[in-house]
Structure 1
Amino acid sequence: MNPDLAYANADFIPNATQFPSLWARLAQEFRAGAKNLRKDLRYGPGLRQSLDLVLPDGVPRGLVVFVHGGYWRAFGHATWTHLAAGPLGQGWAVALPSYTLAPEARISEITREVARAIDLAAGEVTGPIVLAGHSAGGHLVARMNCADVAPGCADRIRRIVPISPISDLRPLLHTAMNVDLRLDALEAEAESPALITDRLHIPTTVWVGAQERPAFLDQARGLTDAWPEAQLRVAPGRHHFDVIAPLADPNSALTRALLA
């Protein structure tokens, strides 16, 4: 199959163009009503090197870090704040980092920015840490299980939940988006979690929608097959754009898996 078509989610999702505005509206509504939202905590000097931290009432049970997707080229933390509602309702704090986007940054640089963001958030909240990320964000949190970029707080990370992740970047070498990503063969291999053997072996739940593109189902299975510490969960009826929606529900199966 044409690699561009294989990873073209929007072309195969009904009303796909409406999702970005929906996410932005839900996030804005959540932010307007949030009682304990700390905005734009800086983890570096770059324009996009900041995160939002949402705190529950009382002492947090721990910290969830959610890393957004967008093929490393789009979005920022303020589009996804509503997804904090699920863990927040279970008493967990939630950090949502932005990062420098391609083509300004290469994926290897973005990976290291995310590690720094996690360490900053970890310094604000005590207790266990759970990492979750969607699509490109799923790739980025999976990389935190790899020894070459593991954050300093890695000993506190209890679980990693890559949602619809890209775990092998080599197919992206042949896509039009690589004009922005600037991947070469060496970086694609070095940044592919499914190919990395020097890991921390943190328990990992790979979550993917049953209605995703075959390439994303293959990417999820590939990571699960490569990592003995990983298990695969396939969400019935979910596609690439709505697979993350249950994070806003404290009692959803995804939130429960995250905090298990």
Structure 2
Amino acid sequence: MSAGIDYEAEYNNRARVPEHPALIAGWARDAAAYRERTAPRSMSYGPGARHTIDFFPGGHDGPIVVFIHGGYWQALDGSFFSHLAAGLNAHGIGVAIPGYDLCPNVTIDDIIRQMRTMTRALARPGKSLVISGHSAGGHLAACMLATDWPAFDASLPPDLVSAAYCISGLFDLAPLVETSINNALHLDPTTARAASPLFWPAPLHGRLDAVVGENESAEYFRQSRTIVERWGRAGITTRFGTVPDANHFTAIAPLADPRSPMVLRLTELAGR
């Protein structure tokens, strides 16, 4: 970390975007409307009430893109984001939106393990997955790309996850330790580093895209640029980008638009 940076100001997105309550209410409204038009198939990947996946089918036996929601590992659930399946569904791509337990009831390590179990539940012979995610979900998407899948489960292929598409992700959790965000996370410098994919062995295969809203804080830009540079040097294909005129909450909006550059990039990563 660097002296002189106000990490509370850099990472407190709700304070940075005063209109966030209306934006989150808009998510809930649009998500409910999409579920009415396109009812998802509910899947369970574990014993807990939040261990579920809302699956919005695409074409028969076609590719699947996962979207992992944000909320700093301590808020929201997948039901706020159903409408974000619309863009990819229009291209015949299935979208899986999982839930997970929240801090402080569990740790971030617990959530990483839950997302690994979720990813295993979606595994299909001969098919890889693209994992996307926003904010904390971007962190979890990167964790899935960097997971040694045969070590997690000997029956899984090493390339189970072929790409991660991280929207405003967090890859170095150390700056959160001294912020109010940590009131629920209970991180210390050791556990923050252990849960930071930036410091894990880089993936041996696959692709990483990391994009950031154009109007987000300098720290969010640093986070994404750093993992793109570090994992790129390690040998995988990486790409950094920005979402034009977007803040932390509006950066995911293009997922609902079949013609957006974000959706078109995800269709490319998914092999369509």
What's the TM-score, normalizing by structure 2?
0.88
Work out whether residues 87 and 247 of structure 1, in 8 Å CA contact, stay in contact via their aligned partners in 2.
Answer: yes
Residue 241 (structure 1) aligns with? 249
Which piece of structure 1 moves more, 109-118 or 186-195?
A: 186-195
Distance 1:158 1:198, change over 3 A: closer
* 8 A contact 1:24–1:79 mirrored in 2: yes
What's 1:157 paired with? 161
The aligned residue for residue 200 of structure 2 is 196
- Mapped to 2, the partners of 1:169 and 1:133 lie a distance apart of 16
Would you say the 8 A contact 2:159–2:205 is kept in 1? no
Q: 1:154: how far off?
A: 4.8
> Identity across aligned pairs (percent)?
35
Q: Tell me if structure 1 keeps the 8 A contact 2:145–2:161.
A: no
1:177 aligns with 2:181: yes
Which of these residues, 51, 54, 75, is aligned with residue 52 of structure 1? 54
Distance 1:245 1:60, change over 3 A: farther
Following the alignment from structure 2 to structure 1, what is the Cα–Cα distance between the partners of residues 13 and 126? 37
**How much has 1:140 moved relative to structure 2?**
0.3
| Pairing 1:147–2:155 present | no
Q: Retained in 2: the 8 A contact 1:122–1:153? A: no
Return the match for 1:25 from 29, 45, 59.
Answer: 29
Cα deviations by residue, 1:123-166 (Å, 9 ceiling, x for unpaired): 5x973421100000000010112235767355242221011000
Structure 1, unaligned runs of 5 or more = none
| Correspondence for 1:111 | 112
Partner of 1:80, secondary structure, is helix
Distance 1:113 1:165 in 2: 18
Give the Cα–Cα distance (whole angstroms) in 2 for the partners of residues 174 and 187 of structure 1. Answer: 13
Higher mean alpha-carbon deviation, 153-162 vs 13-22, is at 153-162
Cα distance in 2, alignment partners of residues 246 and 135 from structure 1: 15
| Contact 2:69–2:134 (8 Å) recurs in 1 | yes
Taking structure 1 as the reference length, the TM-score comes to: 0.92
For 2:49, what is the secondary structure of its paired residue?
coil
Asked whether the equivalents of residues 147 and 200 of structure 1 are also in contact (C-alpha less than 8 Å), the reply is: no
Letter in 2 for 1:11: A
Would you say the 8 A contact 1:129–1:158 is kept in 2?
A: yes
- The CA deviation string for residues 20-67 of structure 1, in whole angstroms up to 9 with x for no partner, is 1100000000001115x202x1111122111111112x4142000000
Q: Give the aligned partner of residue 42 of structure 1.
A: 44
